[in-house]
Amino acid sequence: MGWKYKVSVVVSIDNAGQYLEQLMRSIIMQTIGFGQNVQVIFVNDGFADGSGAVCARFCERNPDNVRQICLDRNRETGAAWNAGLEHAEGKYVTFMEPDGLWSLNAFEAAVDFLERHAPEIDLVSADMEAYGISLQQHCFNQDLDAGTLVDMNTEPGRLRVNGSCCIMKTETARGHRFQERQSGWESTIFVNQVMLEKLRYGMLPGDVRYYYHGKREDGAAVQQWEMHQMYEEHSLESLFQGIYEASMERWGCFMPMMQELMAYAVAGGFTGENSVSNAGGLCDHKMYHILQYIEDNHLVGACNVDEFTRKVMLAFKHGVDLREAAAERGKLLVQDRCLQQRRAADNANYGVLKKWFERKAQGKKTDFYFLYNGFRRIAVYGMSDLGRYLVSELRDSQVEAVYGIDRRAEKIEADIPVLQLEENLPEVDAIVVTPVYYFGEIQGSLSGKTEVPIISIEDIINVME
């Protein structure tokens, strides 16, 4: 069939409207040429954070190649991507989170690679890197000098675990569907089903990157892709069924790379709070069942856990109970993680404050950001050092810090009223979150109580460059 564009970009909008401007900049500035070669499809899946209005402005500016699809209710990311795929008019398609960014050479490099290797592959992928707080690269990054074809039979350890860093043939993508029940593994299942078609994929060179917002992850959480969301009872089973059934249907066996992927996923359930010792029924039933389909050499090679955890997994598969030892070790790991998290939070705050002082020495202040965006009345979440400093800087400006929000409200002395999150929050134009390391978690807590923009102080300071 004839294709109107070279690349279609399907974006699921899930309560992250503050990132859409930068997402669009990364698309408009693609070296492949935006107007003639790129289509953008925003799928508004029911969130009421103002994202729809932002997307509407982009549609007005680019009526030919930007459109917005509004779903009647929040139907989760998978449903949004499925809806967008139906309207894709590009020969190739990529599925993005709203806080994602592609390096500016990505679409040109992907199209060139896919055209040169059209009969051999349906999909290309890129390395990933976090922006914002965490600067971690993903453990499956390959950092190549030049693009290469990956043979899934001979190189099963070169996994792809996130669909947003992939660009694929639209025709092939339409032969599959994203799972519409939220599990945390929707894009993983989808891209691996596409890759199973030809047992090869293209890996783009290291100068092509997909960037995602680090939010509050420390290194371990980045590497395990927010696994705390993926261990509800149905999640691992959804992943297993999705890739096992596709592998068996296409090739009549559970392919080695799919076993590697499953070992990676299961391994996360044997660490910390998700360890064998306290995962209860999930480990007793779901994990044990899944482990029987994974050959021992793939469990031994799981790259996201240490040697002790690999031994625990292997023992559990073969009916040897190491739970008591795992429980004691798990307690120590949790304590150590808490200390690391506190240090990381302190370091994140220090980094923001240092950059803030540098901006102020250059004559730049936060009030310009607020006034430029029409925010004249704000609330400040977190009344420790960064929060108090923001209130102080705005004191003689045209922007009013109306109140603070802090779980320790009754113990805090401040120049403005300080409320707890559970209280009724007076109306303001925006809420600024100052505990930057925990921004993602705080944003989630606030989104159910307000429809105003929720902004990290770190993003404000970065914009002041």
> Which class does domain 356-463 fall in?
alpha beta
Residue 12 backbone dihedrals phi, psi, to 5 degrees: -85, 120
Whether the predicted model's global pTM rises above the 0.75 cut: no
How buried is 53 (Cβ within 10 angstroms: 0-12 exposed, 13-18 middle, 19+ buried)?
A: exposed
Q: What is the mean pLDDT of residues 8-14?
A: 90
Q: What whole-number distance in Å separates Cα of residue 73 and Cα of residue 58?
A: 22
Identity of the highest mean pLDDT range in 208-217, 315-324, 346-355, 416-425: 416-425
Taking all residues of the chain, what is their mean pLDDT, rounded to a whole number?
85
Starting at the earlier edge strand, list the strands of the sheet with 127-131: 101-102, 209-213, 127-131
pLDDT of residue 411: 87
How buried is 63 (Cβ within 10 angstroms: 0-12 exposed, 13-18 middle, 19+ buried)?
A: exposed
Q: What is the mean pLDDT of residues 10-23?
A: 81
Residue 228 scores a pLDDT above 50: no
Q: What is the pLDDT of residues 25-66, one digit of tens each?
A: 899 999 999 999 999 999 987 666 667 777 888 888 888 999
∠250-253-259 over CA atoms, to 5°?
A: 105
- Superfamily for 5-214? Spore Coat Polysaccharide Biosynthesis Protein SpsA; Chain A (3.90.550.10)
Do residues 162 and 98 touch, judged by C-beta distance below 8 A? no
13 forms beta bridges with 44
> Would you kindly state where each structural domain of the chain is located, as residue ranges?
5-214, 233-321, 356-463
Both structure tokens of 238? 């959804």
DSSP string spanning 63-118? TTTEEEEE-SS--HHHHHHHHHHHT--EEEEEEE-TT-EE-TTHHHHHHHHHHHTT
Residue 231 vs residue 173, higher pLDDT: 173
Count CA atoms closer than 13 A to 348's CA, side-chain side.
27
pLDDT band at 139 (very low <50, low <70, confident <90, very high): confident
Do residues 213 and 19 touch, judged by C-beta distance below 8 A? yes
Q: What amino acid is encoded at 89 in this protein?
A: E
Q: What whole-number distance in Å separates Cα of residue 258 and Cα of residue 311?
A: 20
Residue 380 scores a pLDDT above 50: yes
pLDDT of residue 73: 67
Q: What is the mean pLDDT of residues 244-267?
A: 95
Residue 417 vs residue 44, higher pLDDT: 417
Q: What is the pLDDT of residues 70-101, one digit of tens each?
A: 887 666 788 899 999 999 999 999 999 888 99
**Percentage, residues of the chain above pLDDT 90:** 46
Q: What is the pLDDT of residues 155-213, one digit of tens each?
A: 999 999 999 999 999 999 999 999 887 667 899 999 999 999 999 999 999 999 998 87
Q: What whole-number distance in Å separates Cα of residue 16 and Cα of residue 406?
A: 22
Do residues 91 and 3 touch, judged by C-beta distance below 8 A? yes
Do residues 128 and 143 touch, judged by C-beta distance below 8 A? no
Are β-strands 377-381 and 430-433 bridged in parallel, bridged antiparallel, or unpaired?
parallel
Alpha carbon distances (Å) from 399 to 240, 368, 461: 52, 9, 16
